[in-house]
Chains A and B, each alone.
Chain A
């Protein structure tokens, strides 16, 4: 299957390794990965701040960039949800709205795509360790995806998954919220890190680099011995000498 990858601006600039894992993972499962070079950002920073005129510019650009795609896959529930917001953002411009609907209809978050479109339940990954998974708010509440990451992670060989207490709580990222309301955001991320520590996991897995940048940044600042991994890195992980290559 041919898929067009929307890598997200954060992953593009700050987490290129996650991007490489996404490509490899998709290829392992028989996808031909296309990377439209014109892609920029989904527009969420402007949209969430209320600058919808500016968000529309980003939206229209992304609609054009991915118009040719059969399926669009992105390693972020939040950015996928933003694509799905386009029809409502452009509701007053009928032609654009129709094009936005097409894009929304063919966009999937990475684990969602693997599980629901390719019907993959086991990616053949192996990773020794104890991990806990942070459920990102937008993936769960806006995309409604509560199953895919768990199914895929539960089949990673060697990985023991501990349930994160109060997993429904936001980590305090919220884009500009993290900076604009930093006092509150700090309390939220601290609470999240506390819950992660309660699980005694040595790996924190998440499916959204926004949340991971926030939680991971706090973990690093506090020098906690917890490794942070994007779910693509986990699902593509092969233990040295084990599994296929």
Chain B
């Protein structure tokens, strides 16, 4: 179970999140900053809605023709002298990567940030064979030295930590002695990592997009670490989810712009790198060997289902950055390395309902996510779609199933509705305290623990209408 993080039930994890006031403050501030920046970036571009529609079209066209574009991609990577490996499962991907490490007698692997390698637990797989894996993304590095704390956000993996906590981790683990100023913290890590880069045998990166027409891999970062990972070590392995392909550089241009604006509110991040195959003879730097590992790991099962649009995701985290549920419980509460709305959609698809069945319910269906998504994935609708599957497979409680059956019956029969509406106030009457109900029975208990419930009224609206039509009331 590679994507799953943390034990216990969703409720327990959510409660823990709610009680963690440091984390919540950090998340709230980050969300507010990212929201403002994204809004500005949208405005700068102008016609944001049109760009979204265009991006949606690009993504749906590509995913509709995924086999075609993956074939082109693979042909072109090979033409450039690179190797392509299609891994159906996480285990297959890891075995392939292990075999390269073995062949190269690698002792040290330098990594850039990648969610798919988290998904397949690649670090653990490599470490099990005695290879040292070092994260070079600042956020990932912080988590790695903090006893492999799992990521809580797909763009900013250490979002749940504030600078004081980071400083403490550094001093505890690495003998850091300076202040919690971000510049000083970063400087410290830079120095530490420089040496590691020079010693690394293999560089492993993710892949924001792969360009089918040229067999190139595009990496979008703000720290520039991916450039070192892909130029210094002799071997470069890029690992990508099979849906992360674009037809040509033209589409790449549009999607990178949407990604940067949506993820961090920048026109472009500091570094956008396009890599086409291993080092050619005339190149001054670059790896001698290049491998592209294309990971399925459950993705192809999503094709052709009502969930297909989840594969359009470009992992910008905009949906996470606006999600109120995420704001209050934090990323770890989701129990998956993919948190927030997209995580709640994706985790059950990739890893099954068993471990992730609560996630589709962790939403008020406010649709802020759907609104924020640069490729227009109808996230809140997909959450409802999950609930539908869960209800159909009778994984919900019997009580709920009966209640909803009852609901269907009542809502489609005016006579039953009339009866229910009449009895509701009568049933509630004993709990009333004048205008409102402060302590309700049954399911009302959850409600009234937090809020008062409106008290029963003497007359329903429809009774008033009836009287009025008779010429009685006014």
Contacts and interface: CB of A to CB of B under 8 A. Distances in A.
Interface of A: 7, 9, 11-16, 19-20, 23, 35, 37-41, 43, 45-58, 60-61, 137-138, 141-142, 168-170, 172-175, 177-189, 191, 213-214, 216-218, 220-221
Contacts of A48: 365, 384, 387
B462 A57 contact: no
Interface residues of B, number: 66
Contacts of B365: 48, 137, 174-175, 177
Contacts of A214: 451
Main secondary structure of the interface of A (DSSP, over half): helix
Given A13-B421, A50-B391, A187-B328, A61 B462 contact: no
Interface stretch (B98-106, B251-259, B400-408): B400-408
B412 A189 contact: no
Q: Of B385, B387, B460, B461, which is in contact with the most chain A CB atoms at under 10 Å from its CB?
A: B461
A54 B361 CA distance: 19
Contact of A11 (B447, B459, B461): B461
Contacts of A182: 446-447, 449-450
A54 B408 contact: yes
B438 A9 contact: no
A85 B127 CA distance: 51
Contacts, number: 204
Given A54-B408, A137-B366, A35 B462 contact: yes
Closest 9 CB pairs between A and B? Answer: A174-B364, A217-B451, A54-B408, A50-B387, A170-B366, A19-B461, A58-B411, A51-B404, A50-B391
B11 interface: yes
B324 interface: yes
Contacts of A14: 454, 456-457
A216 B452 CA distance: 8
Contacts of B280: none
A188 B324 contact: yes
A63 to B, nearest CB: 11
B464 A16 contact: yes
B391 A49 contact: yes
A178 B447 contact: yes
Interface string B439-453: 000010011011111
A20 to B, nearest CB: 6
B15 to A, nearest CB: 6
A187 B14 CA distance: 11
A12 B460 contact: yes
B412 A60 contact: yes
Contacts of B11: 183
A46 B404 contact: yes
Contacts of B450: 182, 185-186, 189, 217-218, 221
A37 B462 contact: yes
Contacts of A43: 411
A6 B144 CA distance: 57
B302 interface: no
A177 B417 contact: no
Contact of A185 (B364, B368, B411): B364
Contact of B368 (A11, A23, A170, A180): A170
Given A49-B387, A180-B446, 13 more contacts: A16-B459, A16-B461, A46-B411, A49-B396, A51-B404, A54-B404, A60-B412, A172-B364, A181-B361, A182-B447, A216-B452, A220-B451, A221-B438
A213 B455 CA distance: 11
A20 B459 CA distance: 12
B348 interface: no
Contacts of A178: 364, 446-447, 451
Contact of B451 (A40, A49, A221): A221
B431 to A, nearest CB: 14
A182 B390 CA distance: 20
Contacts of B463: 16
A141 B364 contact: no
Nearest to B322: A168
B228 interface: no
30 contacts: A13-B421, A13-B460, A16-B459, A19-B461, A19-B464, A20-B464, A37-B465, A40-B411, A41-B410, A46-B408, A49-B391, A49-B404, A50-B390, A51-B388, A51-B405, A51-B408, A54-B407, A54-B411, A55-B408, A56-B408, A58-B407, A177-B361, A178-B447, A179-B443, A184-B362, A185-B450, A188-B328, A188-B364, A217-B453, A220-B436
Count chain B CB atoms within 10 A of each CB in A43, A50, A52 and give the residue with the most.
Answer: A50
Contacts of A12: 421, 460-462
Given A13-B457, A20-B464, A141 B421 contact: no
Given A178-B447, A184-B329, A188-B324, A213 B454 contact: yes
B301 interface: no
Nearest to A11: B461
Contacts of A16: 457, 459-461, 463-464
A54 B407 CA distance: 7
A51 B368 contact: no
A58 B370 CA distance: 26
A213 B144 CA distance: 46
A63 B405 CA distance: 19
Nearest to B415: A38
B412 A61 contact: yes
Nearest to A47: B384
A141 B368 contact: yes
